[in-house]
Structure 1
């Protein structure tokens, strides 16, 4: 037994260590994946920021060229037509500039003066002009949000454009607290970095709910990881439960075998002794002795038959092959029959059996034989577990749609931790190596099964040293 217990503990410890290790590794890989996703997000945002700066510079160059009126001369378009097309789609800037470069290269020799004038205009910037004249808030926001959309970045982006002295030029928020968060964000860049003499303009970005965005992008992996972890933990718990149940069943089985051996050994030994006595010519000549030995053999044989019948009854109920012979019966008559069957046992113990049958609606549909066995078993248990003179009281009363029967005794009582288990098959309240209380632990299991097959219920109320009360509720027969 000790060796078996050691193996079980070892299996549990090793499995627990493996489970904890697996959980730690799973958490480690999830953290690595989150860190990688954070780095990817930062790279994605940084690329978008560089692209925004580039687009702003190109947009300003095109805007200044359009204002000078020389871009349209180079491309052969009117000022209004050209800039209206530029305003329609910011993404056409690159293609227009490419076209501009082609046209410039092909027209250098033809119109060198025009080209030189155009380049001078692009390079000359009025440093004293207002920033709004260089780039409006609407144009800046269009470039920002279209760039992030193009790069498939769906999280909420807030921005703030600050001057060299820290003055606020443009922002997408009205909250001062949020504005401070934007200024403290790690995502920032210089706008117009190619200006040689102009003051610095810093563009700050804030990614709202960055962690939530990362987790949302990884939801499938996280859910699957958690799901697999739950499955593994559940399987571990289930296996441990099975191990303990098997151990418990093994103990119950051994207890059952020990009790059965003891129960069968006594009547077999008694019958053997009686048979030897009958074979003795001197003892068998006395008719009184002969009759006594024969009666002893008969009683012990009946006892053996009763023990076997209990086992067979339990096996039949467990296999659910029991067919009840339902008929209209009077429950008080059933109780009376059970009392008469147990009268001799009560008398042998000098006990007292009282009955207070107050119920009036006593007719029900049930199996007469099995219901008699139910009450006989409960009376037998009350006698078994009484250390003093047994006093048993059976009472009945009417309830809504049924009848309640209570069997009360003054026995040793049942501890609270055993009260929910006494109806389990083969369960016996531990008594060590004592075998003074007979039985296999099948009686109450059989009682509960029969009561439930009659659509009834049974419960026990007990205190150690103060006896027990078994309460059975059964449905009354429906009136026609």
Structure 2
């Protein structure tokens, strides 16, 4: 399946799941509002029954009960206008809430009916109090209270949590759906990554075929000439064809070694031979060797070795390969004659090796991918240079094996700068 079709299918599936989630949230909101409406109605009826009980306790069977005011989503004000004790009101409130199965915490407050000043009040948890606990917990209960008509309010601090707790099946289905959506998102991301990896592996196989085919063809031609026409060749031509065989054999060996190194790193089978290495001296030596190849393009390597403490504990062979890879990368992605700067400097607890070029640079998307196996930067549809897309993956693996880090800074058409950090010995 082509990648674009897979992406379309994933997008459509994601859209469908998000649409279902939206519907689920819509119905959850409707159910919650219905729960709240029923709660408010039950509280209203229960508190009217409390007001009715207070009037009956005052031998008043005529006075009409005023409307109960909902001052907030969780606060209900009852204009009872009846003289009553806190114990009586509280017992009636408890009884009525129990009748309507409203098992939640509440706060009961008394007001003077005349000027609506607060007289006393208390918060009650949804538990059965011990005998005598009421008198101890009510604010100001021990003080004399004037026998004047009172109004009262009942508020429910935990109303939202109480309503949500009564929607167990809805919450269960909502969280289950969110779990399914999370799993889908994870699988979709993994699927796209696997698809991309598969494409890069296919590209790797094509590149490897091309990279191996060229030296093999040259080897075949040169060896055939040496085998069939060695008597007809003068000494200079024999040396030339022998050099071709040697050079192409070395080229093949390097390519195969590169692949084997990556495979060994993945299996954790690379054993580092750690020793003290003077990075400044190693870079000077490598620069001289690399200059031969870069000089063929009229390029140059500028050394700025400013690290005063340049000794690290490292595997010389692999660190050399890291530097050669970074230099080769700078050369490969410099359309004009390469201008490469190799520098070192010390930090608080180590040193940094920087390889900077003035080549084609990279955008942010490419920078995120360059350390992935088989990835090769490209411009348009044209791949830049040869290789298998394993060089920077190998570099990162070796640097991490040395407990270091590697970073890249780059802008299109402004070059790239790779920085590698190692701890000093």
Report the Cα offset of residue 435 of structure 1.
Answer: 5.0
Aligned counterpart, 1:39: 38
Equivalent pair of 1:377/1:444 in contact (CA under 8 Å)? yes
Which among 305, 308, 316 is matched to residue 360 of structure 1?
308
Offset, 1:267: 0.8
SS in 1 for 2:355: strand
Matches within 5 A, 1:171-320: 173-174=116-117, 208=155, 213=159, 215-219=161-165, 221=168, 224=172, 227-281=175-229, 285-320=233-268
Alpha-carbon displacement from aligned partner over 1:148-200 (angstroms, at most 9, x marks no partner) = 1123454346689xxxxxxxx9379438xxxxxxxxxxxxxxxxxxxxxxxxx
Instruction: Tell me, in whole angstroms, the C-alpha distance in 1 between the residues paired with 2:316 and 2:13.
Output: 55
Per-residue CA deviations over 1:423-475 (Å, capped at 9, x if unaligned) read 22222112455356011111112112212222222222333333322222221
Report the counterpart of residue 69 of structure 2 in structure 1: none
Moved more, 32-41 or 312-321: 32-41
Separation (CA, whole Å) in 1 of partners of 2:258 and 2:114: 88
Given candidates 416, 422, 439, the residue that maps to 2:370 is 422
Is it true that 1:145 corresponds to 2:96 in the alignment? no
Secondary structure of 2:406's partner?
strand
CA RMSD of aligned residues (A): 3.4
1: distance between equivalents of 2:381 and 2:29?
A: 56
The answer as to 2:391 corresponding to 1:443 is: yes
Q: Shift of the alpha carbon at 1:39? A: 2.0
Normalization by structure 2: what TM-score? 0.75
CA contact (8 A) 1:38 1:214 kept: no
Distance apart, 1:348 and its partner CA: 2.7
Q: Could you say which residue in structure 2 is the equivalent of 1:10?
A: 9
8 Å contact from structure 1 (residues 332, 362) kept in 2: yes
Q: 1:146 to 1:284 in 2, by over 3 A?
A: farther
Q: Does the 8 Å CA contact 2:54/2:84 hold for their aligned counterparts?
A: no
1:66-215 → structure 2 map (5 Å cutoff): 137-139=83-85, 142-150=87-95, 151-152=97-98, 153=102, 154-156=105-107, 170=113, 173-174=116-117, 208=155, 213=159, 215=161
Does structure 2 retain, via aligned residues, the 8 Å contact 1:317–1:449?
Answer: yes
| Structure 2 residue ranges without an equivalent (≥5) | 63-80, 119-149
- Please report how far the alpha carbon of residue 41 of structure 1 lies from its aligned counterpart in structure 2 after TM superposition: 4.9
- Kept in 2, the 8 Å contact 1:23–1:229? The answer is no
Question: 1:290: Cα distance to partner?
Answer: 2.3
For 1:386 and 1:344, locate their aligned partners in 2 and report how far apart those are by CA, in whole Å: 16
Structure 1 gaps, min length 5 = 65-122, 126-134, 161-168, 176-202
CA distance 1:40–1:429, change in 2 (3 Å): same
Verify: 1:405 aligned to 2:353, yes or no.
yes
Going by fraction, where is strand more abundant, 1 or 2? 2
Aligned length: 369
Residue 283 of structure 1 contacts residue 289 of structure 1 at CA under 8 Å; is this kept in 2?
Answer: no
Correspondence list, 1:330-479, <5 A: 330-434=278-382, 437-477=385-425
Structure 1 residues 26 and 415, CA, compared in 2 at 3 Å: closer, same or farther? closer
Segment of structure 1 superposing worse, 276-285 or 399-408: 276-285
Once the two structures are superposed, residues 269-326 of structure 1 have per-residue CA deviations (whole angstroms, 9 ceiling, x without a partner) of: 1112212322333775333222222211111111111111111112222333322111
Equivalents in 2 of 1:22, 1:389: separation in Å? 57
CA contact (8 A) 1:386 1:412 kept: yes
Give 3-state SS (helix, strand or coil) of 1:466's partner: coil
